[in-house]
Amino acid sequence: MPVANIQISETPLVLYTLRRADDALILGHRLPEWCGHAPMLEEDMALSNIALDLIGQARELYSYAAKVEGRDNDEDKFAYLRDVRQYRNLLLVEQPNGDFAQTLVRQFFYSAFADLYWRAMMGSRDATLAAIAAKSEKESAYHLRHSSEWIIRLGDGTEESHARAQGAVDHLWAFTGEMFAVDDSERGLIDAGAAVDPASLRDRWLKTVTGVISEATLTLPQNNWMQQGGRAGRHSEHLGHLLSELQSMQRTFPGLTW
Amino acid sequence: MVTALDSDTELRRRAWDAAASVVDPEIPVLTIADLGVLRDVALNGTEIEISITPTYSGCPAMNMIALEIELALERAGFHRPKVRTVLSPAWTTDWMSEEGRRKLRAYGIAPPQASSSRRALFGEQAVACPQCGSGETELLSEFGSTSCKALWRCKACREPFDYFKCH
């Protein structure tokens, strides 16, 4: 018998919190797909460690969304009992790992944003979001350093690693615009000082990204057409495959506990 | 005569001591008090509530630590203690006690450095080898055996070692 998806009362604050939680959970699920397959043991550990931080962030955010919503949802139901269209993560984080360069470029684009975002969110008027941000920004500094070093190593490495890194940059670039987009439901939270306007972070993000990319002897694409849809629940085909794995136990054995 | 206030203070002290005896399951030489993870002990009527703070968002040891605290308090005679997680202010390695740093080093883990350079994108760090004390060390991996540690190697004695990352 199929397990029903949960219903969610999407107030702006619930939706806002779920979007950030989904980013962290989906990327936190993607990274450990490398565990046992990364080019070196240290990277098996590094990527899984970063994923642990992300899943920790997701848990805090889901728990807060459940509290704000005030129904009987909780962190597990948000993770396991929503279908693709109910997920609100960025398209960037659900993109497949591809080769190692593609994973690290995805991580670099996201970390460079997350680092600025969490630091700015520490000033949120929402005390819980500010507290989660204060925890997350410490971790994001490590995540950004890790991926930055790899971008330089790959870009300024061999002909092969350079070509792969450049290919990954070209491929993933169109998914970066969504990080800075704002819709009406977020506008009110930004005006109230509960959320930061991501557009205000774009120049600094571009400065960090440009600095590392050029040191890596890579170039950013000139094409600025950006892909969007994740925040509204319109996803690439990859998310469904990811969720089928993430949710298989709960969907097969409803209410299963460890 | 023992006033209610005195007995409350005494109860809280006993509860604190019981909770403070709990060790980190991944670094068993450190208690949660050494780490600065133990934040507060509150008495609400007859109910005792312990506040702890996570080191890293995803630290898998937190569930274990919460369970150990409950057990330690039950053993000390407190029934159904509550363990609460507080996020703010965020934990920092600066809260680790001097005693904790000394115990870490003796255990073979380099204690965290001052946190001022944490934000440097490609900052140089100087970490002394906990085995031989040499400053001739190198970073092998920013992410080590647990989420709070990095993997380093000493170029003098050739031993690899864990470094407790500053945070």
Cα distance between residue A55 and residue A22, in whole Å: 10
What's B80's DSSP letter? S
Residues whose CB falls within 8 Å of the CB of residue B95, separated by 6 or more in sequence, listed in order: B35, B36
Q: Which pLDDT value is given to residue B143?
A: 87
CATH number reported for the structural domain that contains residue A245 in this entry = 1.20.1260.10
DSSP state string for A50-63: HHHHHHHHHHHHHH
Cα distance between residue B37 and residue A117, in whole Å: 26
Q: How much is the average pLDDT of A115-138?
A: 96
Domain that holds residue A21: 12-252
Q: Which pLDDT value is given to residue B92?
A: 86
B152 to chain A, minimum CA–CA distance in Å?
11
Radius of gyration of chain B (CA): 18
Q: Which pLDDT value is given to residue B115?
A: 60
The pLDDT of residue A228 is above 60: yes
CA distances from B135 to A94, A205, B126, B141 (A): 42, 35, 7, 17
What's B160's DSSP letter? E
The pLDDT of residue B6 is above 70: no
Residues B14/B76, Cβ–Cβ less than 8 Å: yes
Cα distance between residue A93 and residue A196, in whole Å: 20
Task: Give per-residue pLDDT as tens, A40-52.
Answer: 988 999 999 999 9
Q: In the beta sheet, which residues pair with residue B110?
A: B163
Establish if A246 belongs to a structural domain: yes
Pair of tokens at residue B97: 């006690």
Q: How much is the average pLDDT of B125-152?
A: 89
Percentage of the residues of chain A whose pLDDT score is greater than 90: 93
Establish if A163 belongs to a structural domain: yes
Percentage of the residues of chain B whose pLDDT score is greater than 70: 90
Cα distance between residue A244 and residue A253, in whole Å: 13
Which has the higher per-residue pLDDT, A224 or A167? A167
Q: Which pLDDT value is given to residue A55?
A: 96
Q: How much is the average pLDDT of B61-85?
A: 92
Cα distance between residue A34 and residue A44, in whole Å: 6
The pLDDT of residue B117 is above 60: no
Q: Which pLDDT value is given to residue A145?
A: 93
Q: Which pLDDT value is given to residue A49?
A: 93
Cα distance between residue A88 and residue A12, in whole Å: 13
Interchain proximity A52–B59, CB inside 8 Å: yes
The pLDDT of residue B119 is above 70: no
Interchain proximity A148–B122, CB inside 8 Å: yes
Interchain proximity B141–A144, CB inside 8 Å: no
The pLDDT of residue B87 is above 90: no
Establish if A62 belongs to a structural domain: yes
Cα distance between residue B72 and residue B21, in whole Å: 8
Q: A2 pLDDT band (50/70/90 cuts)? A: low
B150 to chain A, minimum CA–CA distance in Å?
9
Which chain B residue shows the shortest CA-CA distance from A61?
Answer: B57
Interface test mutation site (partner B, options A48, A138, A139, max chain B beta carbons within 10 A): A138
- The closest CB to that of B119, out of A130, A141, A149, belongs to A141
Establish if A7 belongs to a structural domain: no
CA distances from A193 to A116, A125, B45 (A): 16, 6, 37
To the nearest 10 degrees (0 to 180), the angle between helices A12-30 and A184-191 is 110
Q: Which pLDDT value is given to residue A223?
A: 84
A1 to chain B, minimum CA–CA distance in Å?
33
- Average predicted confidence (pLDDT) for chain A: 96
- What ipTM was assigned to the predicted interfaces of this complex? 0.81
Establish if A6 belongs to a structural domain: no
B143 to chain A, minimum CA–CA distance in Å?
5
The pLDDT of residue B120 is above 60: no
The pLDDT of residue B50 is above 90: yes
- Average predicted confidence (pLDDT) for chain B: 87
Residues B88/B57, Cβ–Cβ less than 8 Å: no
Pair of tokens at residue B51: 């506040």
Number of domains chain A contains: 1
Task: Give just the sign of the alpha carbon dihedral B151, B54, A25, A75.
Answer: positive
Residues B34/B72, Cβ–Cβ less than 8 Å: no
Establish if A36 belongs to a structural domain: yes
Cα distance between residue B85 and residue B20, in whole Å: 15
Establish if A5 belongs to a structural domain: no
Which has the higher per-residue pLDDT, A258 or B103? B103
Residues of A in contact with B66 (CB under 8 A): none
Q: B122 pLDDT band (50/70/90 cuts)? A: low
Establish if A3 belongs to a structural domain: no
Domains, chain B, ranges and CATH? 4-91 (3.30.300.130), 94-164 (no CATH)
Task: Give per-residue pLDDT as tens, A10-30.
Answer: 999 999 999 999 999 999 999
> A78, A216, A221, A224: which is closest to A154 by C-alpha?
A216
- The closest CB to that of A55, out of B58, B89, B92, belongs to B58
Q: Which of A26-30, A199-203, A237-241, B116-120 has the lowest mean pLDDT?
A: B116-120
Q: B8 pLDDT band (50/70/90 cuts)? A: confident
> B149, B164, B25, B55: which is closest to A46 by C-alpha?
B149
